[in-house]
Structure 1
Amino acid sequence: MKKILLSSTLCAVMAFGAADVLPSEKRTFAQSKFIPDISLIMDMSYVNRSVDDNEAQHLEVPGVAHGLLGSHSHGSDNHATYNASNGFNLNYAELVLSSSVDPFFTMDGVFHFSENGVEIEELFFTSTALGYGTRVKGGKFNSNFGYLNEQHHHYWDFADMPLVYESFLGMHGINEKGVQLQWTAPTSTYLMLGAEILQGENEQMFGNEEIDLTKINATASLEKTSAADAPSLFVTYAKTSFDIQDTTILAGLSYAWGESRIDHTEDEESPHAISADSKIYGADLVIKHYFDSYSSLKWQSEWMMRDMDGILYANSGGAFKASDLTKKQAGLYSQLVYAYNQNWKVGARYDTIYQNDVKVNGQDRNMPTNMDKYSAMLEYSTSEFARFRLQYDHNNALFNEDNVRQNIDTIIFQVNISIGAHGAHSF
């Protein structure tokens, strides 16, 4: 009798397949269950700027930053901003992979493809089971400093980064390798505290590599500056949010500090280098009122102040010399965006750098202030996957090599289209 039952079972397995009768742990591996969410985002633009591309590359915010328009070179590296050239720009293709690893972790990867190459924009794991409102993230990621820094370009309300962000932190913001710890309080009002330990490679504000000053000093009297001990950048922040009927308010305070090793010794126009201790303070406020499910009015503002104290290595009287350097600079942006419905948006933004105190060997360099930029945009989305934006900028924050303020008008038509499954963005 037992032989008959066994024979019947084997026949059933052969007839209907082992997966139909065998225990789940012995079934064939189901690959489809482990495929991550995948999305691909394309961003391109058409630009009409009132200055030609060659002239744009040589403009700067005096004492603050250069290379904010067009492409520019630092030694053997070439950097192109978004909407870099007059005419058509293929800004990037963004490939995103995201999935749960197991009950304890998730992993996300964001890869940027451009005509110049491929880079890992973000690649990090996030804990999901620590409890007590605690979360740990590790890898390469956008810092939670401020409000805009964590967001990707395709989620911005404007086609370009605010002036104070790009001037102080560069077009990628604080995007670093490191570890992040966040704690959310068990309260009815949202309160989150966070801290990050980062490598410190931000080229606009921080940086930790050794600078070979002998390249710019024929007499070799200047020696190499030592590299900063990595990790060399530390970030802390506090964020809170609450609702008043149909209005959501989000506010935050941020602080970042670290060592700066800024190597522009191979710049064509004004080779120099900076070795300093640096701090940056930030405050952000976002107020969003919902008229209905698709209509809203959003006011978003951020203020930043940076403080640098160190040594400037620059040309003085035909030779490179070391001078004491201090910088105290501040700026902000404020924008208002009205979503009429799920298809149409209109917005305006004001940018300014209003403080620009630069002293070399205690002497004020009398840098210009009140460097402003005005933007307006109209956006149409056929769906959440396709967005078309027309933007106008008037920029009087940039100066040419003769230190003459320029008034630059720019029209940008941006196309942003995505396919696949893409995770929801935070408020």
Structure 2
Amino acid sequence: MYKKLTYLSLFASLSLFANSEIEDLKLRIDSLEAIIQQQQQQQEDTKIRNSLMGSLNSFSQSSYMPDLSLIVDTSYVNRSMKDEELTHLEIPGVAHGIMGSHSHGEHSHAPYNASNGFNLNYAEVAMESVVDPYFRTMAVFHLTEDGFEIEEAYGETTSLGYGLKAKIGKFRSDFGRINEQHQHVQDFSDMPLVYMAFLGEHGINDIGAQVQWTLPTDTYVMVGVEALQGKNPSMYGTDAIIPEGAEEVAVASPSQPNLLVGYIKSSFDLGNTTFLYGGSIAYGDSHINHLDDEEGPHAFVADSYLYGVDLTVKHYFDSYSYLTFQGEYLYRDMDGSKYEYPTDGNGTITDYTTFDVTPTVKKQSGYYAQLVYAYNQNWRAGFRYDAINKNEINGQTTLPQNFDRYSAMIDYTTSEFARIRLQYNRNNAMFNEDGERQHIDTVILQLNLAIGAHGAHNF
């Protein structure tokens, strides 16, 4: 009996000791599991952190190479007027030097399709890429016989959220409809007459910043504002006005940024038809400096407003066949003064150290309307009518009115990389130095070729 009790006591003691060891072992195992889980979490955090740092530091350097493209645009032109005669033509009170090659001082410029015969309009080199999760960048370089130009070079946000987007650099303004389109995207071989007369062939293309907000609505609505330097030489400009023979500044250069642009755009679909429409306004100081012109040197300084409304209607018959109407109306109000050197009775300048100043108010407007029909993936045809229908200066309409131009085109697209276009213009808007209206017929055969990866264009 005594031995049994002894054995039972010993067994109980061993059991208690074993249970104690087991419990201690369990605690140690739990502790090790906690340490392992902590280390695994640290490793996961390190992977995430390294991934983020990698995306920030090398997001576009290896996996995301820039898209590169080259576009060459050339044309053959047959015009019913010699090249040397074009440089002396103008739209009275509105614009001059918008046809043919011309120069202002040391700077020469030739618009597209400027000369009779063959023209190399431009070679466009473009590159674009995502920079990191927050930015993308775009640059477009224009090379012509006259030189090299940075047409666009900007950075743009990609993840601001709340429908917001910002852009900074040099870019084509979203004023109106056609202004932001590159030439090779447009349906005709030249800009509408009202754009050429008011803003020049390149429109509003300037250095500055842009903010756009797409509203959280069922229907697309976008509002945007831009602050630009205002270097557009056709309507704005930033030059100080100084007489050639004097050191004293007649009119100081404007504060920069000099040009403010605002717009609202909206669209909706009705069956197979899309409607896109908008309104725009641009305000800035005009410092139009033509004092270096050989004939009639002058300058114009004013507070200038430009208003625009646009409408595009596109109806699809099938995937490739469609009919598009596009039109814009522009109205400008310029209130300022014209600066000219004093002359004698024969028009000879008598003094280059001072100016005759004439208060001048311009109220002018114009529009274009075009219709383009795409028969299939390859063939298209279109017609455009341009007009400057208001030309009021100092409340008077004694200058010619109703400057117009007709254009017809047909083009064949061999692929998305090549297009051949034949266009005819009948221009009734230009006047010679004797004040006689000219009727200019022009035939343009244009070839546009593209290679490389080029980003998609807006609708």
Query: Could you tell me the TM-score, scaled by structure 2's length?
Result: 0.84
Q: Distance in 2 between matches of 1:51 and 1:45?
A: 17
Of 177, 181, 193 in structure 2, the residue corresponding to residue 151 of structure 1 is: 181
Name 1:323's counterpart in structure 2.
Answer: 358
Q: Distance in 2 between matches of 1:316 and 1:353?
A: 31
Name the amino acid aligned to 1:104: Y
SS across alignment from 2:196: helix
The 4+ residue runs of structure 1 with deviation greater than 6 A are 23-26
Of 273, 280, 305 in structure 2, the residue corresponding to residue 254 of structure 1 is: 280
SS across alignment from 1:33: coil
- The within-5 A match list for 1:102-117 is 102-117=132-147
State the 1:32 CA deviation: 4.8
Of 149, 154, 179 in structure 2, the residue corresponding to residue 119 of structure 1 is: 149
Of 321, 325, 329 in structure 2, the residue corresponding to residue 295 of structure 1 is: 321
Are positions 1:414 and 2:446 aligned together? yes
Of 396, 401, 410 in structure 1, the residue corresponding to residue 428 of structure 2 is: 396
Name 2:352's counterpart in structure 1.
Answer: none
Residues 140 and 151 in structure 2, CA contact (< 8 A), matched pair in contact too: yes
State the 1:316 CA deviation: 5.7
State the 1:225 CA deviation: 1.2
Q: Distance in 2 between matches of 1:259 and 1:31?
A: 42
State the 1:103 CA deviation: 0.3
Name 1:283's counterpart in structure 2.
Answer: 309
SS across alignment from 2:99: coil
1:160–1:112 CA distance, 2 compared to 1 (3 A): same
SS across alignment from 1:41: strand
SS across alignment from 1:204: coil
Name 1:336's counterpart in structure 2.
Answer: 371
Name 1:308's counterpart in structure 2.
Answer: 334
- The within-5 A match list for 1:224-235 is 224-235=250-261
Name the amino acid aligned to 1:59: L
Q: Distance in 2 between matches of 1:209 and 1:107?
A: 30
Name 1:263's counterpart in structure 2.
Answer: 289
Q: Distance in 2 between matches of 1:92 and 1:246?
A: 36
State the 1:367 CA deviation: 1.3
Q: Distance in 2 between matches of 1:221 and 1:419?
A: 51
Deviation by residue 1:355-386 (Cα, 9 ceiling, x = unmatched):
00012xx7x37111110000000000100110
Between the aligned residues of both structures, percent identity stands at 57
Deviation by residue 1:100-129 (Cα, 9 ceiling, x = unmatched):
000000000000011111110000011011
State the 1:95 CA deviation: 0.5
Q: Distance in 2 between matches of 1:168 and 1:46?
A: 26
Query: Could you tell me the TM-score, scaled by structure 1's length?
Result: 0.90
Name the amino acid aligned to 1:172: H
Name the amino acid aligned to 1:41: I
Name 1:20's counterpart in structure 2.
Answer: none
- The within-5 A match list for 1:52-131 is 52-131=82-161
Name 1:201's counterpart in structure 2.
Answer: 231
Q: CA RMSD in A?
A: 1.7
Residues 391 and 397 in structure 2, CA contact (< 8 A), matched pair in contact too: no
- Structure with more of its chain in helix, by fraction: 2
State the 1:181 CA deviation: 0.4
Number of paired residues? 396
